[in-house]
Amino acid sequence: MLPLRDDNPSHRTPFVTWGLIGLNVLLFLYELSLGQRLPDFLFQAAFVPARTFDAGGGLQVGSALLSMFLHGGFTHIAGNMLFLWIFGDNVEDRLGHWRFVVFYLGCGFAATYAHALAASHSTVPAVGASGAIAGVLGAYLVLYPQARILTLVILGFYIDWVKVPALVYLPIWFLLQFISGLASLGAETSAQAGGVAWFAHIGGFVAGVALLFLLGGPGVRRRQPPRPRPLTF
């Protein structure tokens, strides 16, 4: 089920969402420029769960932040940016620009450390924006459950475009992450688990719902259009 767009227009320009997408793309281009040096860069600079639990390893806050903007390939960044493009503008619209920055980064950190707890011995660098974006999905579900998501559905030879309510699409998405996360618990590294940090998605989604309430909840006011000025004669 691939989302293509929603029918939920936003009222304010999503500068932060655009900026996040731009920053992700810029850092991905930097990764490409490294060529054969990329693996060494990732092992040195990106978040590695095992380091957090080493003696004196610390929380790796800088590495966790950087890892939110790094990606493992074209498909990885394309999928993440598509989700951020579709759902980010509406959550930013309700929270406002600066609260959305706090919200997004908070979800990203929560997702990173959820993955670290689930894969505490992993020496594989964990990169990607999907944990933070999962938080955006959690908030979107609370704020816009009736919004409809135009979705490409592929079931064997059956291919169709379907408008799915967020109240259906997003819980299914979360359930798939949860099931995949449980199935990955026997793997010692995210590479053995298929290269996906499922618990980062789960942690990010839950954090998104929690942070939404901390930052104002579903009662965050919509931005009202300016009142028309009275005509003068």
Is residue 226 one of the residues assigned to a domain? Answer: no
Q: How far apart are CA 120 and CA 100, in angstroms?
A: 29
Q: Write out the residue range of the structural domain in which residue 82 sits.
A: 2-219
Query: What is the C-alpha end-to-end distance of the chain, expressed in Å?
Result: 57
E strand or H helix at 149, and its extent?
A: strand 148-155
Asked whether residue 232 is domain-assigned, the answer is no
pLDDT at 220: 63
CA–CA distance, 136 with 9 (Å, rounded to integer): 16
160, β-bridge pairs? 153
For the chain, list residues with pLDDT below 50: 188-194, 224-228, 230-233
Could you tell me which of 47, 72, 34 has the C-alpha nearest to residue 126? 47
Identify whether 204 is part of a domain.
yes
224 domain-assigned: no
CA–centroid distance for 55 within its chain: 30
How far is residue 86's CA from residue 101's CA, in Å, rounded to a whole number?
17
What is the C-alpha to C-alpha distance for residues 159 and 204, in angstroms, rounded to an integer?
Answer: 30
- Residue 130, in any domain of the structure: yes
In a domain, 214, yes or no: yes
Output the six-digit token pair for 155. Answer: 């079931």
Give me the CATH number covering residue 141.
1.20.1540.10
CA 26 to the chain's CA centroid: 17
Strands 158-165 and 148-155: antiparallel
Task: Indicate the length of the chain as a whole number.
Answer: 233
In a domain, 112, yes or no: yes
Position 130 scores a pLDDT of: 95
What pLDDT is stored for residue 88 in this prediction? 96
Asked whether residue 26 is domain-assigned, the answer is: yes
Whole-angstrom distance, CA of residue 169 vs CA of residue 152: 12
Q: Count Cβ atoms below 10 Å from residue 164 Cβ, excluding itself.
A: 18
Residue keyed to tokens 């939404």: 212
Q: Which helix (H) or strand (E) holds 151?
A: strand 148-155
How many domains, the chain? 1
